[in-house]
Amino acid sequence: MTEIPRLALTPGEPAGIGPDLCIAAAQQPHAAELVAVCDPDLLASRAATLGLPLTLDAFDPEQPARPSAPGRLRVDAAATLAAPVVPGLLDSANATYVLDTLRAGCAGCLSGRWDALVTGPVHKGILNEAGLTFSGHTEFLAQHCARGAEPVPTPVMLLAAPGLRVALATTHLPLAAVPEAITAPRLEHIIRVLVTSLREAFGIPQPRILVCGLNPHAGEGGHLGGEEQQVLIPLIARLRAEGLALEGPLPADTAFVPQQLEQADAVLAMYHDQGLPVLKHLGFGRAVNVTLGLPIIRTSVDHGTALDLAGSGRADGGSLKAAIALASEMVQARNSGTAIRISERP
């Protein structure tokens, strides 16, 4: 493992803003070595469109890691585009290329070639239109992180913004399907992955987690729903008896007030739109999607492909910059045990 973090960077959908963001990131200094895993012609062409200086250097794993100079970027040409790219115009011919870059990035992290994977936004629709099975980065990477006869990891989605970390008990489920998914085995797995990850990947010895209830007022003693009484309260009591620092179930409308968050290291929300609107209001454009429970470190931007902005020079690179910085910090925390602090709250 290198002292300077070596990060694989996949630009995602070639017609979207991912290449723009990678090129913009290359204009700035970083505490890590960035290696774009993609077709170098894509970056060269987009840099010319944007009018930004960019020198591409072939990645050499035998060379010691060192931060790239501004205006330069290392490239691992692990995949080749099948068709020319027009910014903003999707082409299903390049769908396989997108997944090939992800496979290469994941495999390289598993082998130690890179210390972490930072992913740009993909377009699920064009991947599915091309006949490929793809429901999201998280599920795809979990499948490719399975080793031999070991079961596929069940990852946990965490989003981090300045002042707040939110993990999700359920992700992209219809709201009507959420109550059935709130089971003791599922929640116990998620809580244990969250605690372990905060200890090992974030360097927090005894993480304190606020657990939201599912129903309004956390069920109001069973009068507004039974999931808290039947599942959450007994599970939290059992895990607290083991020494885990859990608080809850808390009404979601008061779990995010400053007094509650002051000493918390993360909040566990029961469903997507319970926790993420708060986080994105606090830090949209600076938030990072982190996949927990995998044998690799993976961070990602918190936005989509923004096809209408591709090649325009108007894409906001704040989330990618934050994803790169957090990946670097997670590598260093894993290697040294240094805690990653939640930055100042506004």
Where is 161: in which H helix or E strand? Answer: strand 156-161
To the nearest whole number, what is the mean pLDDT of the chain? Answer: 92
301-318 in b/e form (b: 16+ CB < 10 A) is bbbebbbebbbeeebbbb
298 is annotated as contributing to ligand binding? yes
Q: Tell me, what's the pLDDT at 346?
A: 32
Dihedral, CA of residue 13, residue 19, residue 20 and residue 25, to nearest 10: 130
What would the mean pLDDT of 84-102 be, rounded to a whole number? 97
Query: With 60 as the cut, is the pLDDT of residue 298 above it?
Result: yes
What would the mean pLDDT of 94-123 be, rounded to a whole number? 96
Query: With 50 as the cut, is the pLDDT of residue 3 above it?
Result: yes
Residue 343: band (very low, low, confident or very high) from pLDDT cuts 50, 70, 90: low
172 is annotated as contributing to ligand binding? yes
Residues 215-226 pLDDT 10s: 999 989 999 999
What would the mean pLDDT of 218-236 be, rounded to a whole number? 94
Nearest to 331 by CA among 24, 30, 76: 30
Contacts of 62 (CB under 8 A, 6+ apart): none
Taking CA atoms, 291 is separated from 156, 166, 260, 346, in Å, by 6, 12, 25, 25
Query: With 50 as the cut, is the pLDDT of residue 186 above it?
Result: yes
Q: Tell me, what's the pLDDT at 284?
A: 76
Vertex 218: Cα angle to 216 and 221 (nearest 5) = 110
> Picking from 1-10, 181-190, 285-294, which range would have the lowest pLDDT averaged per residue?
1-10
Query: With 60 as the cut, is the pLDDT of residue 2 above it?
Result: no
Residue 344: band (very low, low, confident or very high) from pLDDT cuts 50, 70, 90: very low
299 is annotated as contributing to ligand binding? no
What would the mean pLDDT of 211-236 be, rounded to a whole number? 95
272 is annotated as contributing to ligand binding? yes
Taking CA atoms, 323 is separated from 185, 297, 300, in Å, by 31, 11, 6
What would the mean pLDDT of 287-303 be, rounded to a whole number? 93
30 is annotated as contributing to ligand binding? no
What would the mean pLDDT of 61-89 be, rounded to a whole number? 94
138 is annotated as contributing to ligand binding? yes
What would the mean pLDDT of 337-344 be, rounded to a whole number? 64
**Euclidean distance between CA atoms 320 and 18, whole angstroms:** 9
Query: With 70 as the cut, is the pLDDT of residue 98 above it?
Result: yes
Backbone angles phi, psi at 270, to 5 degrees: -80, -25
**Percent of the chain surpassing pLDDT 90:** 78
What would the mean pLDDT of 234-257 be, rounded to a whole number? 96
pTM: 0.90
Q: Tell me, what's the pLDDT at 264?
A: 93
Nearest to 141 by CA among 109, 169, 111: 109
**Euclidean distance between CA atoms 24 and 9, whole angstroms:** 13
Q: Tell me, what's the pLDDT at 150?
A: 64
Q: Tell me, what's the pLDDT at 175?
A: 94
Residue 1: band (very low, low, confident or very high) from pLDDT cuts 50, 70, 90: very low
